[in-house]
Structures are given as structure tokens and as C-alpha cells.
């Protein structure tokens, strides 16, 4: 293929990007988006603070801009994210206990119902585990409602939308030997054993020199897939430049392609200037929209 989307499709996979609604009027941005990508994730527009800024009042305008653009272009949508400790509206940040549990479940139900039929995969729960060596859940207002909050969110999402794939999404889960990776693995194993509805695990894959692509990345993806879930790389970016960056991107793509159930890769933005990273050049297109060496290595590896 001559584009990322077409090349990934040759092996039945998708290639996607994060999209910001306010960039859909930038013709360079939209030109690359429409040419290269077959899946989009709203970078911020489907987060809890964006969709439910006031409790019980849902605001879908910006999210719908992205969804409608995607549908019009024949792209699919990854929903991001129904339940998360971060980017909560103020009203939710100030809640706890049963009231918070019910507010979270209502949010999951309302949003998944609104988008029923339009979402390929939902990141139902994002970033629920701690970094470091504990393997524990991350402390958050949601976690303090009870350890079963994650499965409750998955069950509510399935009840609202029986066809979207339901994913758990996290970062620092790339290295198979890390405690956080093992802890997420045990949760997915437990969910599969008990029939909690989970279909996929997303690996954010934000890499830099302090957090490089691990050499056992393929092992991690393969071991999760063996639990009976699809795996996806959901927010890929790698700080660096030139051939070193290109090689790391190639390694990620090769690791995914070596795992049958690794069925999609999404980069977290289009041009370096679109990146959430404060500095650096972590993406596949330079700030003018030109293809970088990393682009070519990804295209060739797909």
C-alpha cells in the first residue's frame, strides 16, 4: 500500500490517529488525516469533562464533529474514554462513594448509548493501575468506591452497546517483567475467567529515552492476546528523530504484526506540532506535514 491505512488493511489491521476537533479546519492536517488514516480517536473531546461538564447535561458537539468527519470518510472510531481518574469535570472530582459510583455508571450508560452503532472500540476504563513495583490499583475517587468499579463500568458499557469492543487501556504496561504489566494481565485473566465483558487491551505506547521500547514488547502483546482478547497500540508516540526514531517505530509495528490478535495501531497525533508532548518530535509527520523517516519505516514494516 501507499498509505498507512491501506498498508495496515492488507493484513486486516487498522492504522489510526488521535484527532482534535479544532484542527478539522486546518487543510494540511485534514489532507493527511483523510489520506493516511482509517481509525480516529478523539484526543480530548470524548473525555468525561468534555461530554458531561455539568452533571446530567451532556455536550456532544465537539465529539460529534470528529465522529461525523470519520463517518463521512469511511473511518472508524475508537471511543476514549468512559471512566478515568483524570480529566473529570469538577462536579465529579468532588464526589465519592455511592453517589460517584452511580454518576460514573450513568455516564458510561448515557455516552455508550448515544454512540451505539458508531464506535468500533471503547476505552471503557483508562489508567487504573499504579506505576512502580506495587502492582496495586491507582488510588482515585473511583477506586475508593470499591475494587469492583472497573468491572461495573465494563458491564454497564456492554449493556448499553452490545456490539462495540470493550477495552482496558493503560501506559507503562509494555515491559512484560514490570509489576504494572503483570497486574493488568491478572485483572484481564480474572475478567475472562468470571465472564466480565472485556474484548481488548490497549497499550498507550508513549515512549522516550527514559521509557524506551522494551525488547520483550512482542512477548507482552502475545501473552495478553493468549488470554483471548484483542490487543491494540492506542496512543503511540516516540520522542527522538532520524533513523533511531524510525527504528523504534519499526520495532513496534513488527511486534504488533507478529501477533495475530494485535489488530490495530493508533499514533497520538499527526504532525510533531500536533503532539501533546511539551517538546520533541515524536510523530510521523514534521510540523509542515512532510513525511519523516519514521513514517517511511512504519509504512515499509506494515
For residue 163, the minimal CB distance to ligand XIL (Å) is 23
For residue 125, the minimal CB distance to ligand XIL (Å) is 11
For residue 279, the minimal CB distance to ligand XIL (Å) is 14
Q: Are 207 and 268 in contact (CB under 8 A)?
A: no
Q: List residues near ligand XIL by CB under 6 A.
A: 43-44, 126, 204, 235, 276
Rank residues 175 and 222 by Cβ distance to ligand XIL and give the closer one: 175
> 117 in the Ramachandran plot: left (φ > 0), alpha (ψ -120 to 50) or beta?
left
Q: Are 162 and 193 in contact (CB under 8 A)?
A: no
Rank residues 48 and 221 by Cβ distance to ligand XIL and give the closer one: 48
Q: State the Cα–Cα distance between residues 98 and 298, nearest whole angstrom.
A: 47
Q: What cell does 256 get?
A: 504488533
Instruction: Clarify whether 235 is annotated catalytic.
Output: yes
Rank residues 49 and 286 by Cβ distance to ligand XIL and give the closer one: 49
Q: Are 248 and 296 in contact (CB under 8 A)?
A: no
- Which residue is catalytic, options 45, 52, 235, 239? 235
For residue 3, the minimal CB distance to ligand XIL (Å) is 23
Rank residues 73 and 87 by Cβ distance to ligand XIL and give the closer one: 87
The angle, 0 to 180 degrees and rounded to 10, between the axes of the packed helices 149-160 and 97-114 is 30
Using CB positions, name the residue nearest to ligand XIL. 276
Which sequence positions are flagged as catalytic?
235
Amino acid at each position: 500500500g501507499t498509505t498507512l491505512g491501506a498498508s495496515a488493511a492488507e493484513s486486516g489491521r487498522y492504522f489510526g490517529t488521535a484527532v482534535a476537533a479544532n484542527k478539522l479546519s486546518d487543510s494540511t492536517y485534514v489532507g493527511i488525516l483523510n489520506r493516511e488514516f482509517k481509525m480516529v480517536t478523539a484526543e480530548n473531546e470524548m473525555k468525561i469533562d468534555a461530554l458531561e461538564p455539568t452533571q446530567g447535561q451532556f455536550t456532544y458537539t465537539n465529539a460529534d464533529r470528529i465522529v461525523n468527519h470519520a463517518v463521512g470518510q469511511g473511518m472508524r472510531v475508537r471511543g476514549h474514554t468512559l471512566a478515568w481518574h483524570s480529566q473529570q469535570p469538577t462536579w465529579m472530582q468532588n464526589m465519592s462513594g455511592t453517589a460517584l459510583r452511580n454518576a460514573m455508571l450513568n455516564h458510561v450508560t448515557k455516552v455508550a448509548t448515544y454512540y451505539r452503532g458508531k464506535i468500533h472500540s471503547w476505552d471503557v476504563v483508562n489508567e487504573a493501575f499504579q506505576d512502580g513495583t506495587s502492582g496495586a490499583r491507582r488510588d482515585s475517587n473511583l477506586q475508593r468506591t470499591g475494587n469492583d468499579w472497573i468491572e461495573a463500568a465494563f458491564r454497564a458499557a456492554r449493556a448499553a452497546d452490545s456490539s462495540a469492543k470493550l477495552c482496558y487501556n493503560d501506559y507503562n504496561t509494555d515491559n512484560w517483567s514490570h509489576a504494572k504489566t503483570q497486574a493488568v494481565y491478572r485483572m484481564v485473566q480474572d475478567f475472562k475467567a468470571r465472564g466480565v465483558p472485556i474484548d481488548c487491551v490497549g497499550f498507550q505506547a508513549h515512549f522516550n529515552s527514559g521509557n524506551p521500547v522494551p525488547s520483550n514488547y512482542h512477548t507482552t502483546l502475545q501473552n495478553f492476546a493468549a488470554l483471548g482478547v484483542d490487543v491494540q497500540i492506542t496512543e503511540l508516540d516516540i520522542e527522538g528523530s532520524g533513523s533511531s526514531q524510525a527504528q523504534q517505530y519499526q520495532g513496534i509495528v513488527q511486534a504488533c504484526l507478529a501477533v495475530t490478535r494485535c489488530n490495530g495501531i493508533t499514533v497520538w497525533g499527526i504532525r510533531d506540532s500536533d503532539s501533546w508532548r511539551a517538546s520533541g518530535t515524536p510523530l510521523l509527520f514534521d510540523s509542515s506535514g512532510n513525511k519523516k523517516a519514521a513514517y517511511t519505516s512504519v509504512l515499509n514494516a506494515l
